[in-house]
Structures are given as C-alpha cells and as structure tokens.
Amino acid sequence: MGKRQERDPKFEALETVFFDFCWEYGNDRISLDEYNKYRGIYDKIRQRIMGASVGHDEIPPKYENMIQIPAGDFIMGSSKEEIKHLISEMVPKYPQFQLWFFEDEMPKRKANLGTIWMDKFEVTNLQYSKFLSSQEGSSVTSPRSWDDRKVPPGKGNHPVTGVDKFQASAYCKFLGKRLPTEAEWEKAARGTNGNIYTWGNNLSVRDVNTAEIGRHDTTEVGTMRDDVSPYGILDMGGNVMELVIDGYKPYPDNDAETEKAKRAFVDREGWAVARGSSYEGVLYDARGANRRYFSPSHQGKDIGFRCTTD
C-alpha cells in the first residue's frame, strides 16, 4: 500500500471508497477479478492525487480467498468489569457458566500486529480431502468425523471437523501457511475497535450458526449472513470453533481472582486453544475474546480451523 498519508483529505476519501470495495470482496459481493480491477483504478487515482508512483498491487494466487488484515493496533482481551458483567447477564439463562471460565481473557489491553492474511472461510472437508490425498504414507490421519477417509456425504463445503492441532497445522504448512496466533485470530474477529462479537456488540443477531438457531450441525462455510467480521472474514462467531497455534497460558499481567482459574493455568498449560463458538455452543461464546482449551490430541466434532500467512 506504500507509505500512508494520514493528513491528505483527498487520500482519506479515496481510502474510504476503496475500503468499500475490500468489504464487498470480503462479503463475496464482487469476485477477485473485479476486486483486482478496482484495485488497479485505485492505484491510478492515488498516483494522480499523490503525484507519486505506486506499485500495482494485485492479490497473488497464494492469497486467493484470504483477507488482508493491515498492520496496526487493536484491542485484545476483556476487563474484569466486562467479565463480571458478562457473568451477571449469563447466569440467569445459563447457570453452568462461572466467573473462572472467563478470567483467562484478562487483562484488556492494546496490542499491535504487522500485516497478515487470513482465510476468509473455515477450511472445508473438500479442501482437507485434497490435502489428505497428497499425504499417502505420511503420519497425517483422516479426520475423526470421516468414515474411511471419505468426505461425509453432502458436506464437501462444510468445515472439516474432528481434527487435532497436528492435523490442522499439517494442512496449513502444506500450503505454506500456518494456524493463526490467538492475537491474530482476535484482531481478525474484533477489528480495531474491540468489538465484543465479530458482527458488533449486540446479541440480537439471527444468522450465526450457534446452538440458538437449533441446527445442531455444521453449515456450508460462508452462508451465515450475520457472521461477518469487520474485515469480511466469515464464520468466526459460530459454525465450528477454530484451533490456533498458541498453547494455553495466562496472558501477561492476568489477575484472575479465583483458585479454579489459577489452577487451570497450571493444569492445562500448553493445551490446544480454540476460538469462537460453534453449532453446539451458545452465542455468548462467540465473543471475540473468548478462549477455550482442549487436550492437544482432542479431535472435537465441532472444532475446525482456518489458516493465516504473513
């Protein structure tokens, strides 16, 4: 994108228009070809405004179906007040939820990341099957949710599930990518304003695949209208929980009060972390700051993943 020129209003206006195109592409309203066409026009106008030559910056094939998350600050984690408020809201409806479940999200702080790219969709069964057929004789095994190394009938475009962190990492590595870190996943889900959910801050959404809609199974990726992050990344709220690369550990300066939370940091250290809610989880669990941990070899029927790259 070249050097950012913050104070030129013409440039700011152009950026706003171009951001709309990014959003349209992110929401599947325009194709990659169309996006690249607009990108070309954007570069030419910017060159005219700025009077400086800029590189034509098409999305290379490696990044197809990935979304660029520009470098910069974002909000990570939750404050103690937010956790306590959450519990007061949840408990009347879900008495099983307790304060210590969420104390690992603290503290709320500003963080910073460089530019990354993240998959727009959860990795699908069909994609995983193509990878698997290239792995004959290797130690990568078929997902636990499959019968006899075959994609479950009618579920080619559904997210792959029943994979552990090793299987998920092997898939990403095969494509020259990797699993996202917790920070990367959270920025992609919450945007730069610290949204509580991918779609914003309210719970009055209808089209997110969590237990509330009563489907109790995966849906085809990218089909839930409300489950769209500020960057146009889809299904980060629900469908399947998503494995990340980090092992479970307390965030620096975490000040959990309960013994149970402190105990989990010791007993579950290094466990696999998954983010977001799922078709079996509740909408509250779709909060961008929410962290779940699992035994590293756990192959959950509502756990999948997506890839990231620099």
Interface residues with Ca ion (CB under 5 A) are: 235, 239, 276
Least gap, CB of 288 to Ca ion (angstroms): 11
169/198 with CB nearer Ca ion: 198
Residue 75 makes CB contacts below 8 A (sequence gap 6+) with 108, 109, 110, 111, 190, 192, 193, 194
Least gap, CB of 235 to Ca ion (angstroms): 4
235/285 with CB nearer Ca ion: 235
Sheet containing 66-69: give its strands across: 66-69, 116-119, 308-309
Least gap, CB of 58 to Ca ion (angstroms): 28
Most distant CA pair in the chain, distance: 62
DSSP state of 200: B
186/235 with CB nearer Ca ion: 235
142/209 with CB nearer Ca ion: 209
Q: What is the DSSP string of 254-297?
A: ----SHHHHHHHHHTTT-EEEES--TTS-GGGG-TT-EEEE-TT
Least gap, CB of 227 to Ca ion (angstroms): 8
Beta strands in 197-258 (DSSP E): 241-247
> Are the C-beta atoms of residues 208 and 238 closer than 8 Å to each other?
yes
Least gap, CB of 159 to Ca ion (angstroms): 7
145/239 with CB nearer Ca ion: 239
105/280 with CB nearer Ca ion: 280
Burial (0-12, 13-18, 19+ Cβ within 10 Å), 244: buried
At 189, which helix (H) or strand (E)? Answer: helix 182-190
Least gap, CB of 275 to Ca ion (angstroms): 8
